[in-house]
Amino acid sequence: MACRKLRIFLGMIKFEHTIFALPFAYLGALLAAGGWPTLPELGWITLAMIGARTAAMSLNRLIDRHIDALNPRTAGRALPRGLLTVAEVWLYTFLSFGLLFYAALRLNWLCVQLMPIAVLVLVIYSYTKRWTWACHLVLGLADALAPVGAWVAIRAAIDLPAVILGLGMGSWVAGFDIIYACQDYDFDRRYGVHSIPARFGKARALSIARGLHALAVLMLALVGLLLHLGLIYFLGVTLAAAILIYEHRMVSPGDLSRLNLAFLNLNGYLSVLMFIFTFLALTLR
């Protein structure tokens, strides 16, 4: 029974989507260390990421469970169907925050000091769709904490390249979240859920997403310039830009049939490729 509940919980929070943020956290750690960090550092960064994302997704499912029950796309999630209880998900949430705190404690004191800010952003995000269409930008801010937090874990400092890398990741996440939200356009307008597609329409929303993705590429390139990462890194940035261009060609206001492929597969490839090319750039220079 316990194993079954755990499988349901991991499915509910889309644990496999950790692949979007985790490579960027590793990327931040690589750049901060100027190469491969120690295995204990990577281990604690990994656990901190798992704790933070699991807590954030658990909170999101708890806070949105009544909205999810109304939306045909999300009505099959574990909480609306009663496959998990509210108390069980709260338990997972507190355990995840505990894991995040312990990992931060094992890294350095600045990580511990900054943790309340990270927790505040993670909590606020799930409420923003109730009062502002800028909720996607708040999600981007939450994910931007991954590479910045990993940088802090290594250097115990917040430096300009880390902030720019965070802005790059945040713009990327906000952009694809806007694309993803287009599928809920009718539901959001009917029930008063705030989103950029619901506020501006799907065509303008996709244009805004393109602008955010262009900004993401610019920020990634700027990181390379600041840290003198060389040709291999910029080849990775070029491939990331190509993936984003292809992603936008797969969707249109009138055809979102390939949205899940664009959201899941392509963004996963982008994240992993940026990590690989950054690692190669640091190793071979």
Contact 66, 184 (CB under 8 A): no
CA distances (Å), origin 263, targets 74, 89, 159, 268, 284: 16, 26, 30, 8, 32
Nearest by Cα to 195 from 213, 210, 214, 209: 209
Q: Which domain holds residue 117?
A: 2-284
Q: Model confidence at 15, in pLDDT bands (50, 70, 90)?
A: low
Structurally, the chain folds into a number of domains equal to 1
CA distance 75 to 83: 12
Residue 259 CB neighbours (<10 A): 17
pLDDT digits (tens, 9 = 90+) for 130-177: 999 999 999 999 999 999 999 999 999 999 999 999 999 999 999 999
Query: Sign of dihedral through CA atoms 138, 139, 143, 144?
Result: negative
CA distance 203 to 248: 12
pLDDT digits (tens, 9 = 90+) for 32-73: 999 999 999 999 999 999 999 999 999 999 999 999 999 999
pLDDT digits (tens, 9 = 90+) for 197-245: 999 999 999 999 999 999 999 999 999 999 999 999 999 999 999 999 9
Contact 273, 239 (CB under 8 A): yes
Tokens of 198: 């619901």
Q: Model confidence at 257, in pLDDT bands (50, 70, 90)?
A: confident
CATH number assigned to the domain comprising residue 164:
1.10.357.140
Nearest by Cα to 258 from 156, 208, 183: 183
Average pLDDT of the residues of the chain: 92
Quote the pTM value.
0.94
pLDDT digits (tens, 9 = 90+) for 80-115: 999 999 999 999 999 999 999 999 999 999 999 999
Sequence-distant (6+) residues with CB within 8 A of 215 are 167, 168, 171
Treating both helix axes as pointing N-terminal to C-terminal, what angle do 39-63 and 18-33 enclose, rounded to 10 degrees?
Answer: 150
Query: DSSP E strands: which ranges in 3-73?
Result: none
User: What pLDDT was estimated at residue 2?
Assistant: 66
| Residue 281 burial by Cβ neighbours in a 10 Å radius (0-12, 13-18, 19+) | buried
